A = this chain, B = another copy of it.
Amino acid sequence: MCSPKVMHHVHQQLQSGTSRFDRRALFRTSAGAAATAGALAFGSRSAFAQSATPAATPIAGGSGVTIAASTVVDLTHTITPDFPVWPGNESFQIENLSTVANGGFYTNKISLYEHTATHLDAPAHFVEGGLTAELLPVENFVAPIVVIDISARAADDPDTGVTPDDIIAWEATYGPLPAGAFVAMYSGWEARVSDPDTFINLDADGVQHYPGFTPDAALFLVEERDIVGIGVDTLSQDPGNSTDFGAHIAFLSAGCYGIEGMAGLGELPAIGATVIVGGPKHEAASGGPARVLALY
User: By the criterion CB–CB under 8 Å, are A107 and B113 in contact?
Assistant: yes
Q: A204 in the interface, Cβ–Cβ < 8 Å?
A: no
Contacts of A1 in B (CB 8 A): none
Question: Is the pair B54, A73 in contact by a Cβ cutoff of 8 Å?
Answer: yes
CB-defined contacts of A47 to chain B, threshold 8 Å: 82, 194
Cα A80 to Cα B77 in complex, Å, equals 25
The answer to whether A278 touches B291 (Cβ under 8 A) is yes
Q: Say yes or no: A282 contacts B77, CB within 8 Å.
A: no
Of the 9-residue stretches A91-99, A158-166, A205-213, which lies at the interface with chain B? A91-99
Q: Does residue A260 face the partner (Cβ distance < 8 Å to B)?
A: no
Distance of A141 from chain B, by nearest CB (Å):
7
CB <8 Å contact, B101 and A23 = no
Give chain B nearest CB distance to A1 CB in angstroms. 14
Q: Give bound CA distance, A113 to B98, whole Å.
A: 11
A66 within 8 A of B: yes
Contact with B along A105-122 (1 / 0, CB 8 A): 111111111110110000
Known contacts: A80-B283, A100-B27, A285-B108. The answer to whether A71 contacts B59 by CB under 8 A is: yes
Interface string of A124-163 (1 = CB under 8 A from B): 1111100000100011011000000000000000000000
Q: Are A58 and B70 in contact (CB under 8 A)?
A: yes
Shortest CB–CB separation between residue A197 and chain B, in angstroms?
A: 14
Q: Is the CB of B100 within 8 A of A127?
A: yes
Nearest-Cβ distance from residue A115 to partner chain B, whole angstroms: 6
Is B107's CB under 8 angstroms from A193's CB? no
Residue pair A284, B139 in contact (C-beta under 8 Å)? no
Cβ-based interface call for A267 (8 A) = yes
Q: Are B293 and A291 in contact (CB under 8 A)?
A: no
A188 to chain B, nearest CB (A): 12
- The answer to whether B69 touches A283, judged by C-beta atoms less than 8 angstroms apart, is no
Kindly provide the distance from the CB of A260 to the nearest chain B CB, expressed in whole angstroms.
Answer: 13
A79 within 8 A of B: yes
A245-277 contacts to B, CB under 8 A, are 245, 248, 263-264, 267, 276-277
Check A141 against B293 for contact (C-beta < 8 Å).
yes
Complex Cα distance, B77 from A55, in Å, reads 11
Please indicate the chain B residues that have their CB under 8 angstroms from the CB of A81 in the complex.
Answer: 283
